[in-house]
Amino acid sequence: MEYGKLVELYQKLEATTKKLEMTDILAEFLKGVEPEVLPEVILLTMGRIFPEWEQKEVGVAANLMVQAIKKATGVSEDDIIKWWKETGDLGDAASSAIKSRRQAVLFKKPLTVEMLVSNLRKAAELEGPGTIEKKVSLVAELLASSKPEEARYIVRTILGELRVGVGEGIVRDAISKAFGVDANLVERAYYLTCDYGIVAKLVKEEGEEGLKKVKIELGRPIKVMLAQKAKDIKDGFEKVGRPCAIEFKYDGMRVQVHKKGDEVIVFTRRLENVTKQFPEIVHGVKECVKAKECVIEGEAVGYNPKTGEPLPFQMISRRIKRKYEIEEMAKQIPTETFFFDIVYLEGKETMSLPFEERRKLLSKIVTPKEKLIGLAKQVITSDEKEAEEFYQEALKAKQEGVMLKNLKAKYQPGTRVGYMLKLKPIMETLDLVIVGAEWGEGKRAKWLSSFLLACRDPESGKLLTVGKMATGLTEAQFEEMTQRLKPLITSEKGRKVEVKPKVVVEVGYQEIQKSPKYESGFALRFPRLIRFRDDKSVEEADTLERVRKLYESEARRV
Ligand code: AMP
């Protein structure tokens, strides 16, 4: 298929922000796509080259992209960077470079989707000496045979910045509409395969029957069931019913473990394959799980090998991306995995069984071994007092809180259906001052989209940075923030700006960490905007002392 056709689709999609219209446009387009390229086309409409669960990356970031554009067009690096700065979009710069290219066009043939995907997959597989040059060449080859408009989208796709607005919901509805199949079945198939490309091809070739046949495949992760929040124990009981199962909510990393004979594969909740990084989970499952084939879920909690005390999540998160000295890290920050669910056993899916049955199956196949493999600590009760005591016990054991689970509910992958609820102490918020910001990229280029937060240090009279906030804002709030901050800009360097400290915001966050990255010595993990505090002046913003106190009280808990 000609890539130009896909570019026309992108342009049509960009011309509207209405979800329904986008769904119709995409559905119409999908009808005409040959089944062989359908998987790739679906991924490309979402701005991906690989399905989410395949941890592959093209590995060409902005600086290499500049080299590739230069190689493809003969345009100087200075010009490319100048154009890039003008719009904040390297895709636009590539487009301009193609327009003014000084080199003969290498290929006269139109660029195809197949060629694009083939080159980018090749680039992702490269290893060893000369990798960088080869990657640049593969991308340059694509750019050299592309038209200006095509180059724009190729660059955005490779940099992971396509942003035409096609998310999972639109793809699901478009597939359903294009081929006349039930959207729920499409979604179910996606949750079990984590790849809308495969799902679309199956629908096109086999219709609804094909979708119904989709099963869990060992070695390919499924989307996990997610939790909703409970306000307190009483609210929890009201939502999941009495009696219910109450379990420790462990503060660690969710793992989905696939066992296929002697092979054990470990995925995170974000579908990353971390088998290599967590050898102790692999050993543990081999030793303690008596099943030929199963898919089980649990929480891997790091602990201090000297004291046995649990460690906060941030410690094991350091192991997730680790490539070297894996065994050493496994010794320094070992994990104990507490299993809490089972979705597949000996060739059969167990997702439709009630939770209490699943837990029984799990207990049958898991033989706990201390400091390696366990079952999530659980009570089954209707009694609020007993539940409250169990909650306090979990907090005393330095875990995050508790989960409340409906005993009769099935396992519903990928969704927050309210079959399980989480209950944890409320995190206090901070009122902080915005002292800097960064202009966004792509669709956000017109807004300041990342905000530097600071707390007060009354002793020195200075504002000290404690983190960067880029989430929790609606489009209207980005607009408002930009309007408020623009007149306050005091200096501008590249995309970064400094602003007069005037705007106070209330900020929520997941955790406070010690960090040399910011002047305060602390960093907020995932800060998000809760509201503007127009009622507060900068002098009333929270102090370094309060940040420290919150950090300490959190550290005591974990
Ligand atoms: P949250 O990440 O705050 O949405 O809370 C849900 C997460 O709690 C799950 O994704 C698991 O990683 C984790 N978790 C810890 N203990 C349990 C448990 N006993 N049952 C289910 N999830 C648990």
* End residue of a domain, out of 357, 390, 423: 423
In this structure, the residue with its CA closest to atom 12 of ligand 1 is: 254
Give pLDDT, residue 557: 46
The answer to whether residues 344 and 403 belong to one domain is yes
Residue 4 lies in a domain: no
Helix (H, G, I), strand (E, B) or coil at 407: coil
Torsion angle in degrees (nearest 10) through CA of 129, 132, 138, 140: -140
- Cα–Cα distance between 413 and 190 in angstroms, integer? 10
* End residue of a domain, out of 366, 389, 423: 423
Q: Which residues line ligand 1 (CB under 6 A)?
A: 227, 247-250, 254, 269, 299, 340, 376, 403, 422
The answer to whether residues 243 and 385 belong to one domain is yes
Residue 482 lies in a domain: yes
Mutate-to-test residue for ligand 1 from 224, 375, 422, 424, highest number of ligand atoms within 8 A of CB: 422
The set of residues, in sequence order, having a beta carbon less than 8 Å from that of 270 and lying 6+ positions away, is none
CATH, residue 482: 2.40.50.140
The answer to whether residues 294 and 384 belong to one domain is yes
The answer to whether residues 274 and 415 belong to one domain is yes
- Cα–Cα distance between 437 and 243 in angstroms, integer? 50
Judge whether 501 and 434 are in contact, CB under 8 Å.
Answer: yes
Residue 173 lies in a domain: no
The answer to whether residues 266 and 411 belong to one domain is yes
Q: What are the C-alpha distances in Å from 532 to residues 89, 390, 433, 479, 542?
A: 30, 37, 10, 13, 14
The answer to whether residues 371 and 470 belong to one domain is no
The half-sphere exposure of 444 on its side-chain side, counting CA atoms within 13 A, is 22
The answer to whether residues 267 and 313 belong to one domain is yes
Q: How many residues does the chain have?
A: 558
The answer to whether residues 412 and 454 belong to one domain is no
Give pLDDT, residue 374: 98
Judge whether 412 and 187 are in contact, CB under 8 Å.
Answer: no
Q: What are the average pLDDT values for consecutive 10-residue runs of the chain, which has 558 residues?
A: 97 94 98 95 95 87 95 95 91 94 65 97 94 97 94 96 90 97 96 94 95 94 93 94 97 95 94 94 98 98 94 82 88 96 97 97 98 98 96 91 97 92 88 96 89 94 95 86 94 92 92 92 91 87 93 62
Query: What separation in Å is there between the alpha carbon of 198 and the centre of ligand 1?
Result: 29
pLDDT digits (tens, 9 = 90+) for 73-90: 999 999 999 999 888 899
- Cα–Cα distance between 507 and 524 in angstroms, integer? 10
Give pLDDT, residue 105: 57
Query: Which DSSP symbol is given to 289?
Result: B
CATH, residue 403: 3.30.470.30
- Cα–Cα distance between 140 and 137 in angstroms, integer? 5
The half-sphere exposure of 472 on its side-chain side, counting CA atoms within 13 A, is 17
Residue 547 lies in a domain: yes
In this structure, the residue with its CA closest to atom 11 of ligand 1 is: 254
Query: What DSSP string runs through 342-392?
Result: EEEETTEE-TTS-HHHHHHHHHHHB--BTTTEEE--EEEES-HHHHHHHHH
Q: Write down the H helix ranges in 241-372.
A: 279-288, 313-320, 326-332, 355-365
Residue 350 lies in a domain: yes
Residue 401 lies in a domain: yes
* Pairing mode of beta strands 253-260, 522-525: unpaired
Residue 490 lies in a domain: yes
The count of domains in the chain is 2
User: How much is the CA Rg of the chain, to the nearest whole Å?
Assistant: 26
Peptide bond into 35 cis (omega under 30): no
Query: Which DSSP symbol is given to 103?
Result: S
Backbone phi, psi, residue 375, to 5° = -110, 145
The answer to whether residues 306 and 453 belong to one domain is no
pLDDT digits (tens, 9 = 90+) for 191-227: 999 999 999 999 999 999 999 999 999 999 999 999 9
Atom of ligand 1 lying closest to residue 400 CA = 15
Mutate-to-test residue for ligand 1 from 228, 403, 405, 407, highest number of ligand atoms within 8 A of CB: 403
* End residue of a domain, out of 400, 423, 446: 423
The answer to whether residues 463 and 496 belong to one domain is yes
514 in catalytic set: no
The half-sphere exposure of 92 on its side-chain side, counting CA atoms within 13 A, is 13
Judge whether 402 and 380 are in contact, CB under 8 Å.
Answer: no
Give pLDDT, residue 321: 79
Mutate-to-test residue for ligand 1 from 250, 390, 391, highest number of ligand atoms within 8 A of CB: 250
- Cα–Cα distance between 137 and 219 in angstroms, integer? 33
Helix (H, G, I), strand (E, B) or coil at 310: strand
Burial of 125 (0-12, 13-18, 19+ CB in 10 A): exposed
The set of residues, in sequence order, having a beta carbon less than 8 Å from that of 376 and lying 6+ positions away, is 247, 248, 250, 298, 299, 338, 339, 340, 403
Q: Write down the H helix ranges in 126-228.
A: 131-144, 148-158, 168-179, 183-193, 196-212
Domain limits for position 528: 430-557
Annotated catalytic residue within 249, 259, 405, 424: 249
The answer to whether residues 488 and 416 belong to one domain is no
The set of residues, in sequence order, having a beta carbon less than 8 Å from that of 11 and lying 6+ positions away, is 149
Q: Which of 528, 525, 527, 521 is CA-nearest to residue 548?
A: 521
Residue 374 lies in a domain: yes
The answer to whether residues 459 and 444 belong to one domain is yes
